[in-house]
Amino acid sequence: MTRNAFTAALILSAATFATSATQAQSGGLASRITHYDVSKTANLKAVHDGAGTMNFGPLMNDKTLSTNMIFLHRGVLHAHSGIGQHFHNHCEEMFVIFDDEAEFTINGRTSLLKGTVGAPDRMGSSHAIYNPTDHDVEWMNINVGTSKVYDAFNLGDDRVGVPKDKIPQFVTMKLDRALLKPGDIKGVMRRRALGPSVFYTPWAYVDHMLIEAGVSVPSLRLDGLSEATYVMSGEGSVTVNGETVAIKKGDAIPIDVNQIHSFKAGAAPLELMVIGVAKDQKTKDAFAANPDNEVANPLLERLNRKK
């Protein structure tokens, strides 16, 4: 698929979501939460000149949050298929796989990684992904820009059969429950998988969070930050600005700048991936410079210290 054809397919696949997202702006929280359903995703061939086919669909787009999150995509890489190597010069992207394994490439160096894992691709770097297995691999794509404008330049390289480094020669992110640590709130564990220094854009962090069954996270407000939260497993509820909605595995919850929000796990633990994006570079730089923000849950810790 050529760059123009892929971009057209991307716009087409996002069109329905964009319409519903625009309509949802005047609706309630339930209408703003999207749910991953592979049967409702588009099937595309040779994405960025990659091998084979894949299914993907948008859970969030550039209208979802006021910050420069451009999209959050979810789907599957089919057997012996992938996304070809390409550049983004004005935005940053990260492919994530939730199960099995895939070959990740950053700047022409490739390694086989096992899920749940991701590799951030910073501005001006090239990246690709390939599924070498005989079955589907669950996949996500996160894109944040210097503005809300998406750009891409394909290299015409499907990265099939290339040499692989045993140790990745690029930044990786592992979401493993064994790495989580307890914080000040009993029954809540959280870890900063990627911090602000990783990214050049206003992308501020990626956190991994686990809330034990029946446990609530106190309400908090993120000054100058938005969060795109994806439910990796479990079920429970989210409250945003006083409105509460049930959530489950596969849901994507947008929390915009300065919104007051909290989470509660239901009968099963609630496992979350939290993608933080600052409203602008100045806010992100201030966040990065604050020593309190080096820990995964600074606002929760400060909230508890005030009690």
Q: Which helix (H) or strand (E) holds 254?
A: strand 251-255
pLDDT bin (cut points 50, 70, 90) of residue 283 is very high
Last residue of a domain, one of 174, 204, 223: 174
Q: Do 158 and 46 reside in the same domain of the chain? A: yes
Tell me the chain's radius of gyration from C-alpha atoms: 18
Task: Check pLDDT > 80 for residue 12.
Answer: no
Mean of per-residue pLDDT scores for the chain:
90
Whole-number pLDDT of residue 27: 67
- In order, the DSSP letters of 120-174 are EE-TT-EEEEEE-SSS-EEEEEEEEESSS----EE-S---TT----SS-SS--EE
Q: Do 22 and 168 reside in the same domain of the chain? A: yes
Cα separation, 196 vs 6, in Å, equals 30
Q: Do 38 and 137 reside in the same domain of the chain? A: yes
Q: Do 163 and 239 reside in the same domain of the chain? A: no
Q: Which domain holds residue 92?
A: 3-174
Cα separation, 135 vs 297, in Å, equals 37
Cα separation, 79 vs 51, in Å, equals 10
pLDDT bin (cut points 50, 70, 90) of residue 2 is very low
Q: Closest Cα partner for 228 from 59, 26, 105?
A: 59
Q: Do 32 and 128 reside in the same domain of the chain? A: yes
The answer to whether 217 touches 263, Cβ cutoff 8 Å, is: yes
Q: Do 236 and 248 reside in the same domain of the chain? A: yes
Q: Do 155 and 185 reside in the same domain of the chain? A: no
Q: What is the CATH number of the domain that holds 105?
A: 2.60.120.10
The answer to whether 113 touches 104, Cβ cutoff 8 Å, is: yes
Question: For 96-122, what is each residue's pLDDT tens digit?
Answer: 999 999 999 999 999 999 999 999 999
Whole-number pLDDT of residue 302: 44
Cα separation, 299 vs 176, in Å, equals 23
Cα separation, 65 vs 228, in Å, equals 8
Whole-number pLDDT of residue 20: 45
Average pLDDT over residues 216-237: 96
Last residue of a domain, one of 174, 197, 231: 174
Phi and psi (nearest 5°) for 180? -70, 150
Last residue of a domain, one of 140, 174, 208: 174
Phi and psi (nearest 5°) for 296? -70, -35
Number of domains in the chain: 2
The lowest-confidence range among 18-27, 163-172, 176-185, 254-263 is 18-27
- Could you tell me if residue 21 is left (phi over 0), alpha (psi between -120 and 50 degrees) or otherwise beta? alpha
Q: Which SS3 state, helix, strand or coil, does residue 296 take?
A: coil
pTM more than 0.85: yes
Q: How many Cβ atoms are within 10 Å of 80's Cβ, its own excluded?
A: 15
How far from each other are the two terminal CA atoms of the chain, in whole angstroms? 57
Q: Do 230 and 106 reside in the same domain of the chain? A: no
Q: Do 7 and 154 reside in the same domain of the chain? A: yes
Q: Do 52 and 165 reside in the same domain of the chain? A: yes
Whole-number pLDDT of residue 295: 56
Q: Do 183 and 167 reside in the same domain of the chain? A: no
Average pLDDT over residues 181-205: 95
Q: Do 18 and 157 reside in the same domain of the chain? A: yes
